[in-house]
């Protein structure tokens, strides 16, 4: 996040192409919220969006299960992939409970998310806290150089201050930066991708852009594919205006694909097929 503005997120929102992405997402979200099914069955759409979002996030972390398998399964402890899917489901369920705390203490929320994701699979003394110097990180897909523990602490503090300051930047920009920064830092020993995508979800909900949590960006990230996700993230890591704009645009496209998914759910509910 390298800009000269006193509010770096607002400066990012002014980058070429970002305004168009913000407007496109806003229009897409407004359309699905205006669907007639949302007037009486929004809780069902929210529940389905949560399930599909968790499936998408798990796919990016290496557990690419089909939706019906996620829906059917009750035991998520049998192997590594099952534990990833279980973690994604727990995080999605937890996200909506943390909105008020996020506005007061983002770092506390991140610690809680890691605790929920890791469960009993990680050593108790390593859960829910940023990693210490020399501690390893298990994170599939992201192969970028790992920042040291001191840098992680400093940048997490900076991210927290930006969130607490109440930036006037569009929700998409804030969500994309929170997502990208957590991927870059990988502050925990495990489950960083799942936590980063859940934090993105929390921002989109808490900002008022998607208050009913029916636009699962995780679906869109997965649909665009792991290679595209990693390539867009490289743009974030570059810190250049072009790279940052590309990452925000990628996150915007993910949100729009999530909208498309929930629109299909609305249509299925309307036909009585879901």
Report the sign of the C-alpha dihedral through residues 46, 47, 50, 56, in that order. negative
Q: How many CB atoms lie within 10 A of CB 23?
A: 13
Cα 78 off chain centre by:
26
| pLDDT tens for the 274 residues of the chain, in order | 544 447 889 999 999 999 999 999 999 999 999 999 999 999 999 999 999 999 999 999 999 999 999 999 988 988 999 999 999 999 999 998 999 999 999 999 999 999 999 986 666 677 889 999 999 898 888 889 999 999 999 999 999 999 999 889 999 999 999 999 999 999 999 999 999 999 999 999 999 999 999 999 999 999 999 999 999 999 999 999 999 999 999 999 999 999 999 999 999 999 985 4
d(CA 9, CA 167): 7
Token pair, residue 8, equals 């770096």
85 phi/psi in degrees, rounded to 5: -65, -40
Phi-psi region of 258 (alpha: psi -120 to 50; beta: other; left: phi over 0): alpha
pTM: 0.94
Burial class (CB in 10 A: 0-12, 13-18, 19+), 272: exposed
DSSP H helices, the chain, are 8-13, 18-33, 38-60, 67-72, 80-95, 99-104, 106-118, 149-164, 171-185, 192-206, 217-224, 226-238, 241-271
- Find where tokens 């997120």 sit: 9
The candidate with the shortest Cα–Cα distance to 184, out of 237, 131, 108, is 237
Residue 269 · residue 45 · CB < 8 Å: yes
């Amino acid at each position: 996040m390298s800009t000269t503005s006193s509010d770096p997120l607002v400066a990012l929102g002014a980058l070429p192409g970002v305004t168009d992405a913000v407007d496109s997402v806003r229009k897409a979200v407004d359309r699905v919220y205006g669907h007639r099914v949302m007037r009486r069955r929004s809780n069902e759409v929210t529940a389905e969006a949560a399930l599909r979002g968790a499936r998408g996030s798990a796919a990016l972390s290496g557990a690419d299960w089909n939706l019906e398998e996620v829906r059917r399964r009750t035991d998520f402890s049998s192997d590594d992939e099952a534990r990833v899917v279980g973690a994604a489901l727990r995080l999605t369920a937890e996200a909506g409970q943390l909105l008020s705390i996020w506005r007061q203490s983002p770092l506390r929320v991140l610690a809680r998310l890691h605790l929920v994701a890791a469960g009993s699979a990680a050593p108790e003394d390593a859960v829910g806290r940023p990693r210490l110097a020399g501690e390893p990180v298990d994170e599939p897909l992201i192969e970028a150089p790992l920042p040291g523990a001191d840098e992680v602490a400093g940048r997490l503090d900076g991210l927290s201050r930006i969130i607490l300051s109440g930036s006037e930047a569009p929700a998409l920009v804030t969500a994309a930066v929170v997502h990208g920064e957590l991927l870059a830092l990988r502050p925990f020993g495990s489950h960083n991708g799942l936590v980063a995508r859940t934090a993105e979800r929390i921002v989109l909900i808490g900002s008022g852009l998607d208050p009913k949590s029916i636009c699962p960006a995780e679906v869109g990230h997965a649909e665009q594919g792991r290679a595209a996700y990693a390539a867009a993230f490289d743009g974030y890591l570059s810190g250049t205006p072009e790279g940052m704009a590309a990452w925000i645009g990628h996150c915007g496209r993910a949100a729009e694909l999530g909208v498309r998914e929930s629109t299909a759910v609305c249509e299925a509910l309307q036909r009585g097929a879901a």
